[in-house]
Amino acid sequence: MNEPATTDGYLLLGAIAVPLVCSILLSATGRKAKGLVRPLALAGFLIPTVIAFMLWNTFSAEASGSGYLFMTQADLGLSSLGINLKLGLNGISMPLFLLASIVGLAAGVYAMRGDDENKHWYLVLLLIMQTGLLGVFASIDIFFFYFFHEFALIPTFIMIGLWGGRERRYAAMEMTIYLTLGAMLSLLGLIAVYTKSGLNSFDMISLKAHLAAMPLGDVVQQNIFALLLIGFGILVSLFPFHSWAPRGYAAAPASAAMLHAGVLKKFGLYGLVQIALPLLPAGAAHFSNMLLWLAAGNVVLIGLVTMTQTDLKRMLGYSSVMHMGYAFMGIAGFSIIGVSGAVLLMFAHGVSVALLFLLADCICRRTQTCEMPEMGGLFKKTPILCGFFVAASLASIGLPGFANFWGEFTIFVGLWQFSPAFAVVAITGIVISAIYGLRAVARIFYGPASAVVQDNTIEDLAICERTPAVILFVALIAVGVFPKLISDDINMAISDVYKAPVTTVAEPVVPATTQDISNHES
């Protein structure tokens, strides 16, 4: 270690390492000791979650501002290149680290059901993916921020190709092409930041301090931000680079879809908020209008496409793409409340979309189809499943009482002060979401029972299905009722990063306190 780490720093490192260690043990003993498969997998998902809650409980964004807590660093012999394994959490990354642990636990528990012959290999890949997800949000070094993303992405392709549904090979190939392109463009942008800064370091903290004192020229910022925007945009399915997501999520096995749509997809948004906006404010301001138009495409055009879908999983895939438009709009508005709302929505959307993909898989396995018109009348046989699905759909729409409401509401407020016209466009997304969400509930659970439902013995959610659903549902309700559980950390970090007054996410906003980030002094 280059600098002494605190006990919490070692806990943070342990949270990332435990899933990887468990995956190694599973790959070595899975076939020989089947009785160890579930205990090892459960440990790999549960221990990081416990650690994440311990760290969150002791986290104090008010004391640290935009600074990092729980820091630990290891010299891997690459320091001459400015690369070090440096970990820590600030008010922006802490909620997303918590998100990765919660969704990871739910996806892991759901994946343990059944006794498939190759189940342990599926769990090995899921644990490797979980290691990468936790590492993304804990990395202070930009090189490892990118490395952990790629580390999590590779198992995704494999799981879709081997365990996915129909069109899985085509979906895996399409995802590979799109996401590899996005990752390469992002990498070029990150390397450009490294070289143009002249600091010879990938350390986010050092780069922010250095570029605040010696900012890059406007043209350089615009060119680098364009690379990052397109690269990160592809990874987050920004319109029109979105077509990979619906097909990929429809073909993906449930746990892989939960982790990718719920957590890994936030990588690009997180990169824009944590890296691109504070390091390249002039570049961000230059592309703000273009980003708003593209994000409006996500909300309106993709929202209308979502309304036409009859396949349940594909509808959820398009819905996920649509809701990313809200987050991009919050970022493009460059207000403290808008960016804070985008981070809060990243957490809320991650939990709600993971719950929806879990429930969709439960529905499709029971009815032997994903076509909603062929499902009707399922409520009488599965009232608990219906209750969870209705709640998750209402959360996705943005009903008060769920975490999504606070993210969307604050984005709308910030966007209104930036551009009332685009705020109106964004708000129309609520109507679109309500139409396709409530129509899906009606098609699947109500009306005359379909032949599939009448002719088959269908049971309600089992314990192995209820448990992960409860984990995600509780997270949605907790933040929905008490948004300050994570919003205070986000507010303080965002306001300090952009040197602006704090505007609270969970409370009404006075317009005069919301300022344009691009005008702030470094």
203-212, 240-249, 291-300: which is most confident? 291-300
Share of the chain above pLDDT 70, in %: 90
Distance CA 276, CA 298 (A): 21
Burial class (CB in 10 A: 0-12, 13-18, 19+), 38: middle
DSSP string for residues in 42-96: HHHHHHHHHHHHHHHHH--HHHHTTS-EEEEEE--S-GGGT--EEEEE-TTHHHH
On the question of pLDDT at 152 being above 60, the answer is yes
Over 50: is that where the pLDDT of 277 sits? yes
What pLDDT, on a 0 to 100 scale, did the predictor assign at position 185? 93
**How big is the CA angle at 257 (ends 178 and 115), to the nearest 5 degrees?**
130
* Residue 509's pLDDT band (cuts 50, 70, 90): very low
Residue labelled with tokens 């209308």: 304
Q: What is the mean pLDDT of residues 478-507?
A: 72
Does residue 355 contact residue 473 with C-beta atoms inside 8 Å? yes
Please say if the pLDDT value at position 40 is more than 80: yes
Q: How far apart (Å, rounded) are the C-alpha atoms in residues 18 and 5?
A: 18
Contact 42, 110 (CB under 8 A): no
Quick one: pLDDT band at residue 147, thresholds 50, 70, 90? Answer: very high
- Residue 61: pLDDT above 60? no
pTM: 0.89
Please give the pLDDT value at position 31: 66
Higher pLDDT pick, 347 / 36:
347
Residue 321 and residue 99: Cα distance in Å, rounded?
Answer: 19
Of the two residues 249 and 449, the one the predictor is more confident about is: 249
How many Å separate Cα 268 from the centre of its chain? 9
Who has greater pLDDT, 116 or 429?
429
Count Cβ atoms below 10 Å from residue 35 Cβ, excluding itself.
8
Inform me whether the pLDDT recorded for 513 exceeds 70.
no
Distances (CA, A) of 256 to 117, 140, 159, 467: 18, 26, 7, 18
- Ranked by mean pLDDT, which of 33-47, 72-86, 87-101, 199-213 comes out on top? 87-101
Instruction: List residues bridging with 85 in a β-sheet.
Output: 74
| pLDDT the model gives residue 117 | 64
Query: Residue 498 corresponds to which tokens in the numbers above?
Result: 């952009």
Q: Distance (Å, rounded) from C-alpha 389 to C-alpha 376?
A: 14
Cβ-Cβ contacts under 8 Å for 6 (sequence gap 6 or more):
70, 71, 72
pLDDT tens, residue by residue, 374-383: 887 888 888 9
Give residue limits of the domains in the chain: 301-522
Under the banding of pLDDT at 50, 70 and 90, the label for residue 501 is very low
Token couple for 515: 């300022």
pLDDT computed for residue 120 by the predictor? 84
The residue whose two tokens read 């570049």 is 283
Identity of the residue numbered 250:
A
Candidates 377, 356, 383, 367; CA nearest to 460 is 383
Beta carbons of 338 and 497 less than 8 angstroms apart: no
Residues sharing a CB contact under 8 Å with residue 280, sequence separation 6 or more, in sequence order: 193, 216, 221, 224, 225, 228
Return the ∠ at Cα 191 (arms to 87 and 130), rounded to 5°: 40
Average pLDDT over residues 139-148: 92
| Model pLDDT for residues 381-425, shown as the tens digit of each residue | 889 999 999 999 999 998 999 999 999 999 998 888 888 888 898
What ranges in 263-402 are assigned the alpha helix state H?
Answer: 267-271, 277-279, 281-286, 288-296, 302-307, 312-332, 336-367, 383-397
Percent of the chain with pLDDT over 90: 45
> Is the pLDDT assigned to residue 512 strictly greater than 60?
no
User: Taking Cα atoms as reference points, which of 87, 81, 69 lies closest to residue 2?
Assistant: 87
